[in-house]
Chains A and B, each alone.
Chain A
Amino acid sequence: GAGVSQSPRYKVAKRGQDVALRCDPISGHVSLFWYQQALGQGPEFLTYFQNEAQLDKSGLPSDRFFAERPEGSVSTLKIQRTQQEDSAVYLCASTTGGREAFFGQGTRLTVV
């Protein structure tokens, strides 16, 4: 596609519900990042994939957060048993490795 696509754009979840956020990177981009952006803050790194391999998951805040990219293209960020502190915008970015990351518009998650 022309850019990084994320879905849904908005998600409201009841506390305790599981959610899945999808990222379609730019075709051919090897690297994929997930970031969490709380209101009024800068993006915080969550995890990184190179093709299907998850090489860095040091930013995942708890074991309730899980990410996968099984075929090296589309990625899914899953949050189990959501809590209010999980409310944020989740950004996905992809890159060819040339250090310019292309970002999607994000998914705004609100946990009520």
Chain B
Amino acid sequence: EPEVTQTPSHQVTQMGQEVILRCVPISNHLYFYWYRQILGQKVEFLVSFYNNEISEKSEIFDDQFSVERPDGSNFTLKIRSTKLEDSAMYFCASRYRGEQPQHFGDGTRLSIL
């Protein structure tokens, strides 16, 4: 069965540095998402992306965050200047369309030092 894959599984970065989290969605999917889960807290929606543009973003997704689908297969989340509070598990998801559910990757654990 096709899967959403995320790399790396664990990323350690110094505060203030830029970080890029990578995702390869399922190939025929049309909608792409990022969520995050701070340790011990619930999963939170960050952003949805469709037709090469952001279709919805949460208040968490401020100017420090950006998303891109540079080559038609990868879907990336960039954090420009990381803060300690960005430490979390980040999940990528993709969905075909209609009532099809979102499929999630295994996540990238981001640790900011």
| A-B interaction | no
